[in-house]
Structure 1
Amino acid sequence: MRWIGFLSLVALSECLVTVPLTKIKSMRESLRERDLLRDYLQRHPYSQAYKLLRQPRVTVQSMRNYLDMYYVGTISIGTPPQKFRVVFDTGSADLWVPSIYCSSPACVTHKTFNPRASFTFRSTNRPIWLLYASASMTGLLGYDDVRAGDLVCKSQAFGLSRTESSKSLEFAAFDGILGLAYPSLALKDTTPVFDSLWKQGRLPDNLFAFYLSSNKRNGSVVMFGGVDHSYYRGELQWVPVSEQGFWQVTVDSISMNGTVVACSGGCQAIVDTGTSLVIGPLSPVLNILKSIHARTTSTGEYIVSCDDVQSLPDIVFTMNNVTYPVPASAYIRREQTDICYSNLDIDTSGSSSLWVLGDVFLRLYFTVFDRANNRIGLAPVVV
């Protein structure tokens, strides 16, 4: 998830000559008008101008894009710090990393936390179990200092894995997960990392924000405590959170070519940085796939003719009376020269009517997760 002038008055002379007021554009305004601000800040990260343009105490954590599948940043746990690569996940609320107590293949291929090497670690011997859409972990609950960028969260609850299921974790480019959803989704009697940072007075504002790069390995960021306006165009549009667990919102409708194709009476969606695709219920997604002439493969994936991609319509999500188009260049991906896959997926459980707006959607829109006002802000990203 992403982070959150000059008037000169001249005195009247004896002749009562009036000098018009003149507004001098700041460096920030001039660079932004030419879409150069973000590039300038990245090229001159230690310049005085950068320090002045950045809001105080706003922490910007860089993330790496792994093949548009997930975005990974580095945190550390313990004293002295032990570093781990984690997914900053708005679809869950707990922090966990592999531990030396784990013998699963996924732990063998990743960094493991050694509690005996940290003099600030506190054990509880409390067993935990976390279940995700495509994986699960079991382990123990512990407490230690967690660092993200220049933020330090004292005595933070986190999981030390003992088992990690699935091949997806074994071959993942990340070690663990840092959840950013509401506390109601967290392990009982624990406080998620973001809530701890706020309660410990580490943040100027009770929000965080995401910019997810597209087709670039570097450049993605999560911001804690504020917003960097250079990452988006126009004004943020706000969508109220409809239920405080996931970052859940109401979708008014989903349309293509001006025709509603799903959510005709409104539906619910969660905004999830930990999911790579856009996921929806069986019938509506099949209707959309049929309308773009997608066909299924032997592996259950859906493909379209690459020659047709440029002519496919946008999928338009309307939320709080504002439209958010997702073009075919986003919901279709080309993995081979002549094969184009759909980035729309079906909720295979069949038990949920929720839509999941994952990274396919979020790469298009800078996203602010505002806990103070229980709302999500969206604005088109600066490309």
Structure 2
Amino acid sequence: MRWIGFLSLVALSECLVTVPLTKIKSMRESLRERDLLRDHLRQYAHSQANKPLRQPRVTVQPLRNYLDMYYVGTISIGTPPQKFKVIFDTGSADLWVPSIYCSSPACVTHKTFKPLRSSTFQDTNRPIRLLYGSGSMTGLLGYDDVRIRNLVCKSQAFGLSTTESGIALEFAAFDGILGLAYPTIALNDTTPVFDSLWKQGLVPENLFAFYLSSNKRNSSVVMFGGVDHSYYRGELQWVPVSEQEFWQVTVDSISMNGTVVACPDGCQAVVDTGTSLVIGPLSPVLNILKNINAYNTSTGEYVVSCDDVQSLPDIVFTINNVTYPVPASAYIRREQTDICFSNLDMDTSGRSRPWVLGDVFLRLYFTVFDRANNRIGLAPVVA
């Protein structure tokens, strides 16, 4: 077959007819002859100057669901990049990861940042301390480049832990935490990651959004700089932020079967991607547990009969005159064949704290955190 192709090419070449070519004047030469070149070049330059710049694209960061307890994504810090698994947490505002200076058990079992291996690291020797509901860290403040997918945030402030306390941190499936709350609760004189992304012109819109799925694979996402409408149904319902520290909103009431069971005169709630449960004050939560016939176990947890779950009513949060039902399939979890645990937790501190709408709520509602307008958008997720 090769030879046939070769012979055909030779035969064809013997039949070719040579045609003389005439040089065609270029557009530039033609315009110059007509004394129009200068005006044309000016017009072209003006059109280019007024052409809109290419806008940054929405960045989608996959998150992995760990046992419905938390959602973890990968970032990197330094040059060359050092990778870490972090919780993208709207309930805090600081970024920190373990460091080689830490000898706590939690640091031994996780990746640690190595400052000397990064050519862009800047040390401050400033001590820091951060407290969380499930543990705490102390460490030092540093600056380095932080990467989230295609975004590179230059000279970002972050903590390098020197101690980490709490069993939850020791056995966690994440290394550190990336806070996405307002800068008012961040470490003094530091800029949180998302604020840096916006100030450095890396995102097209001053907002981010979460889609949290019960799927254990990487179907959950946090998106920076825009909203993907394919993740939710209907229209986003906007709720003003009532206090610009956490992502805090006003709840009109909480009801079951049409009867108000909590927040009869309204209350405050924090929308928190870093909390797995729905948490409320002691008395109102006990009232809800009473309504579903939950009983206390020796471990302090509340359980219901799994046979009753399908008949339990929704817990309905009314927020800015819009109702957000949370069905029993969400606020009850089955961990054994015949025992089902409550996904409601109580704040027993005795202080007047807001409710916390954690992942139990957020798995039902796509959530947009709009810093430009200080509001939260909610819409039912696409199943």
Distance 1:157 1:214 in 2: 32
Deviations along 1:271-320, one digit per CA (max 9) or x if unpaired, are 00000000000000000001100000101000000000000000000000
Distance 1:59 1:352 in 2: 37
Distance 1:103 1:353 in 2: 34
Specify the alignment match of 1:102 in structure 2: 102
Deviations along 1:115-153, one digit per CA (max 9) or x if unpaired, are 000000000000000001110000000000000011110
Residue identity (%): 87
Three-state SS of the structure 2 residue aligned to 1:172 is coil
Distance 2:222 2:348 in 1: 30
Specify the alignment match of 1:86 in structure 2: 86
Three-state SS of the structure 1 residue aligned to 2:310 is helix
Distance 1:166 1:353 in 2: 23
Distance 1:136 1:352 in 2: 22
Deviations along 1:161-199, one digit per CA (max 9) or x if unpaired, are 000001100000000000000000100000000000000
Three-state SS of the structure 1 residue aligned to 2:226 is coil
Deviations along 1:78-133, one digit per CA (max 9) or x if unpaired, are 00000000000000000000000000000000000000000000000000000011
Distance 2:56 2:325 in 1: 34
Specify the alignment match of 1:290 in structure 2: 290
Specify the alignment match of 1:153 in structure 2: 153
Specify the alignment match of 1:167 in structure 2: 167
Specify the alignment match of 2:365 in structure 1: 365
CA displacement at 1:56 relative to structure 2: 5.6
Q: Tell me whether 1:324 sits opposite 2:307 in the alignment.
A: no
Is the CA contact (8 Å cut-off) linking 2:87 and 2:174 kept in structure 1? yes
Specify the alignment match of 1:337 in structure 2: 337
- Count of aligned pairs: 329
Alignment of 1:1-383 (within 5 A): 57-383=57-383
Three-state SS of the structure 2 residue aligned to 1:252 is strand
Matched residue type, 2:283: S
CA displacement at 1:324 relative to structure 2: 0.2
Matched residue type, 2:89: D
Matched residue type, 1:242: S
Deviations along 1:21-49, one digit per CA (max 9) or x if unpaired, are xxxxxxxxxxxxxxxxxxxxxxxxxxxxx
Relative to the length of structure 1, the TM-score reads 0.85
Structure 1 runs (4+) greater than 2 angstroms displaced: 215-218
RMSD: 0.8
Structure with the bigger RCO (C-alpha within 8 Å, sep 6+) is 1
Three-state SS of the structure 2 residue aligned to 1:350 is coil
Matched residue type, 1:338: D
Change (3 A) 1:58 1:322: same
Is the CA contact (8 Å cut-off) linking 1:96 and 1:177 kept in structure 2? yes
Distance 1:150 1:56 in 2: 10
Is the CA contact (8 Å cut-off) linking 1:67 and 1:215 kept in structure 2? no
CA displacement at 1:369 relative to structure 2: 0.1
Which structure has the bigger radius of gyration? Answer: 2
